Structure 1
Amino acid sequence: MTVLILTSEEDVTADMVVVHLNASGVPVVRLDPADLTGGVALSGEYVHGAFRGHLWASGRLVGMEGLRSVWVRRPGVPASRVPEPSDWLSEESSQALYGMLRGTDARWMNHPDASHRARHKPWQLRLAQRCGLPVPATLITTFPQAAREFAARFPDLVVKPVSGAHPQEPPRAVPTSRVAPDTDFTAVAFGPTLLQRRVAKRADVRLTAVGERLLAARKVTPPDADPDEVDVRFASAATPWTPVEVPPRVAEGVRDYLRQAELAYGAFDFAEDADGTWWFLECNQSGQFGFVEVETGQPIARTIAEWLAGQEPEAGTACGGGTSGALYR
């Protein structure tokens, strides 16, 4: 049985997982849908009530009925590297590839439908609330007056994009920024704006969830840190990421979140306040984990490889794991 990885050629994070799969003797096929219809080819036959599908990439032919799992890591837009790309060809290629793969018995990390839904930050916030994860007071609005009233109730705010990275090529990360006290919010009328109460954090937490297994890391905020540096991705502090135990209530909420979202993988970001409360900020369904593994030594890549291979990980919850019972088809 083969593991199929859909991602770009330059994905070093995926390389880390492939190393473990190769070491375990698990067959792996890796391709980027962007290479359809050049370096990647496909075929599917629906005859006599049965389906037979094949993929060809890097000189290898693999039958879709022999796929153990599909890891949708960071694939390119289907058929975007052809000499004359078009939206029509990309849509046709996407329908063909993902439509065929949906018809297999492989399990997904993560299923395209669940992954698409999970990208929506407003949906994430509501799901986190329902799962018992603390969420900072948040407003998404195009009404300037609503923003002013929200700021009056919560004077210390940050602003962040609703959708994430700016859709330029290559994508540009848009940092979370602190809102100035004298902001009048008139510009809110020109586009949806996400305002959120700033958590006076003593640490950032990245919790990587693979099936039922949770691996968390903590990055302490120095006492003399600039309070305007609210986005850990752009902060100047050089404190390291270190492994941390996951509080039981957080572990329960995260697992509930994954079940309801139908995700096999999620990179959760939390802000830890002075009382030790972990405030949910977001869950990236395809978030990076390499930087955490390098700094902490946590076996994230190995855990993902085990899940893709169908192996049961060791039990545990914190710097360790848990047993994945769901297939996330």
Structure 2
Amino acid sequence: MTVLILTCEEDVTTDMVIVHLNATGVPVVRLDPADLTNGVALSGEYVHGAFRGHLSSAGRLVSIEGLRSVWVRRPGAPAANAAGASAWLAEESSQALYGMLRGSGARWMNHPDAAVRARHKPWQLHLAQRTGLPVPATLITTFPQAAREFAERYPDLVVKPVSGAHPQDPPRAVPTSRVAPDADFTAVAYGPTLLQRRVAKSADIRLTVVGERMLAARKAADPDADPDLVDVRYASSAVPWRPVEVPPRIADAVRAYLRGAELAYGAFDFAEDADGTWWFLECNQSGQFGFVEVDTGQPIAHAIARWLARPVADAQPEHANCTGSAMP
């Protein structure tokens, strides 16, 4: 049976996983839903209560009922590259592709419905708090006065986007930034703004979870770094990521988070303070992992490949299927 990977052409991180899948002899088809009607084709017939269909990409044909797993990595919007691209065609293509895949019986990393919900930052913070993860004081508001009052209670703040990347072409990441002590919050009225108490970091923590397997890495804070550069993605530092053990209490809470979110994969970001507390910042359901694997040597790509390659017969019941099981 075949592993289907839905991702964009530029996603080189996926190649790291495909190498391991190829080494085990598991068939793999990689395609971008954005190429539907322009290099990617689909067909499905409703027969005896199920769709029997096929997907075609780059000259390869795969039966939908012959899928063992689907990795929704970083797919483009359906039919975005079609000659007659439109919002209508995108919706038609999305309904056709994901509608048929939902009935395939394959395991998902991650299921589209769970992935959409998991991207909502307010929901993430709520779930993290509920499952026992420490969460910094946070405000999301369009009321300038509320922002001013929050800043009075927590004078040291950061501001970050609620949704993630800015929708440019290509999309650009918006860095988490420190809020100046004399900040004017008038502009808050023009769009939802996420303010959060800054954690005085001793280190950044990236915890990558594949099924039940946890691979954590720690990047110690550079004592010579600019204190206003709080986003680890943009702060230049020679300090490498190093493997680190996950505290048992955090491990239990993360497992509960993934069960609640129905995710098989999650990339968690924490800020470690001087007391060693891991403060939850976010969980990216399709977060990058290549940079951590390069620094630490942790076998993240191999763990993903093993999860995707697991026979369908090993699948768990529906409610547990999203979180997977321990990797052998």
TM-score higher than 0.5: yes
Instruction: Please provide the CA RMSD for this pair.
Output: 1.4
What's the secondary structure of 1:53's corresponding residue?
strand
Matched, 1:87 2:87: yes
Cross-structure match for 1:35:
35
Mapped to 1, the partners of 2:308 and 2:224 lie a distance apart of 43
**Take 1:144 and 1:14, find their aligned partners in 2: how far apart are those partners?**
42
Amino acid at match of 1:16: M
Equivalent residues in 2 for 1:175-194, closer than 5 Å:
175-194=175-194
* Deviations 1:102-143 (CA, angstroms, capped at 9, x unpaired): 011001000000000000001000000001000001001111
Instruction: Work out the CA distance in 1 between the residues paired with 2:277 and 2:47.
Output: 57
Q: Aligned residue for 1:327?
A: 321
Deviations 1:23-66 (A, max 9, x none): 01111011111111121111111123343111111211111111
Aligned pairs for 1:95-114 (under 5 A) are: 95-114=95-114
How far, CA to CA, are the matches of 1:49 and 1:162 in structure 2?
41
Compute the displacement of 1:10 (Å).
Answer: 2.1
AA paired with 1:198?
R
Contact 1:211 1:326 in 2 (8 A): no
The answer on 1:133 being equivalent to 2:139 is no
Matched residue of 1:174: which SS?
A: coil
Structure-1 residue corresponding to 2:234? 234
Is structure 2 residue 162 aligned with structure 1 residue 162? yes
Distance, in Å, in 2 between the alignment partners of 1:48 and 1:292 is: 47
Q: CA deviation at 1:183?
A: 1.2
Where in structure 1 are there 5+ consecutive unaligned residues?
313-324
Q: Distance in 1 between matches of 2:22 and 2:184?
A: 57
SS at match of 1:269: strand
Give the stretch that moved more between structures: 297-306 or 223-232: 223-232
Aligned residue for 1:298? 298
Q: Distance in 2 between matches of 1:10 and 1:229?
A: 28
Question: Secondary structure in 2 aligned to 1:159?
Answer: strand
State the alpha-carbon separation in 1 of the partners of residues 199 and 210 from structure 2: 27
Contact 1:209 1:266 in 2 (8 A): yes
Secondary structure of the 1:201 match is coil
User: Residue type matched to 1:253 in 2?
Assistant: A
TM-score (norm: length of structure 1): 0.94
C-alpha distance in structure 2 between counterparts of 1:209 and 1:258, whole Å: 9
> Are 1:198 and 2:198 matched, yes or no?
yes
Match of 2:2 in 1: 2
Question: In the alignment, residue 303 of structure 1 is paired with which amino acid?
Answer: A
Deviation at 1:238, TM superposition (A): 1.7
- Deviating beyond 4 angstroms after TM superposition, the runs of 4 or more aligned structure 1 residues are none
Contact 2:80 2:90 in 1 (8 A): yes
What amino acid does structure 2 have at the position aligned with 1:224?
D
Unaligned runs of 5+ in 2: 313-318, 324-328
Give me the whole-angstrom Cα distance separating, in 2, the residues matched to 1:134 and 1:106.
35
The more displaced of 117-126 and 179-188 is: 179-188
Quick check: 2:68–2:311 contact (8 Å CA) kept in 1? no
* Aligned twin of 1:269: 269
Indicate conservation of the 8 Å contact 1:177/1:228, yes or no: yes
Alpha-carbon distance, 1:184 to partner:
2.8
Task: Give the drift of 1:311.
Answer: 6.8
Task: Within 5 Å, give how 1:204-283 maps onto structure 2.
Answer: 204-283=204-283
**Matched residue SS, 1:307:** helix
**Given the superposition, is the C-alpha separation of residues 311 and 242 from structure 1 closer, same or farther in structure 2, using an over 3 Å criterion?**
farther
1:245 is displaced (CA, Å) by 0.4
Give the 3-state SS of the residue equivalent to 1:196 in structure 2. Answer: strand
Q: What whole-Å deviation, never above 9, does each CA across 1:253-287 have from its counterpart, x for those lacking one?
A: 11110000000001000000000000000010000
Secondary structure of the residue aligned to 1:34 is helix
Q: Which moved more, 1:40-49 or 1:154-163?
A: 40-49
Supply the AA of the counterpart residue of 1:326: A
In structure 2, how many angstroms separate the alpha carbons of the residues matched to 1:27 and 1:221?
42
Q: Distance in 2 between matches of 1:326 and 1:19?
A: 28
Identity of aligned residues (%): 82
Asked if residue 14 in structure 1 is aligned to residue 14 in structure 2, the reply is yes
2:29 aligned counterpart, secondary structure: strand
Structure 1 SS opposite 2:202:
strand
Give the Å deviation of 1:224.
2.6
Q: Does the CA contact (< 8 Å) of 2:38 and 2:83 recur in 1?
A: no
AA partner of residue 327 (structure 1) = N
Q: How far apart are residue 225 of structure 1 and its match?
A: 2.1
